Amino acid sequence: MLIAASRASNSDITRPEKTGVKTNEKGWIITDKYLRTSKEDIWACGDANGIHMYKHKANYESQIVFYNAFLGEQVRVTYHAVPTLSSPSQK
């Protein structure tokens, strides 16, 4: 038997919107091309933003957040190397 249950955000439990961080209609944290959230000084990476939920994507995004949040750089995230049929849009 194969059960493909998919995955869902747990923002119904963690309630990130209480900090001012906006989520989309599915509960994923909305991030821009620099992985900033809607709340100043809060970034998000990995599965939390609901984009290409893979381990290597989470690792890659954590590097982007490090550069931007801790080093004050303006590194844009790009998903051109992620094998996928869909292309999530970002601001």
Ligand X SMILES: Cc1cc2nc3c(=O)[nH]c(=O)nc-3n(C[C@H](O)[C@H](O)[C@H](O)COP(=O)(O)OP(=O)(O)OC[C@H]3O[C@@H](n4cnc5c(N)ncnc54)[C@H](O)[C@@H]3O)c2cc1C
Residues that contact ligand X, how many (by CB under 6 A): 9
SS3 readout for 43-75:
ECCHHHHCCCCCHHHHHHHHHHHHHHHHCCCCC
Q: Can residue 67 be called a binding residue for ligand X (CB under 6 A)?
A: no
Q: What is the DSSP letter of 20?
A: T
Q: Can residue 15 be called a binding residue for ligand X (CB under 6 A)?
A: no
Site string for ligand X, 27-66 (x = CB under 6 A): -------------------xxx----xxxx-x--------
Residue nearest to ligand X (CB): 46
Exposure on the CB side of residue 10, measured as CA atoms within 13 A: 3
Contacts to ligand X by CB under 6 A: 14, 46-48, 53-56, 58
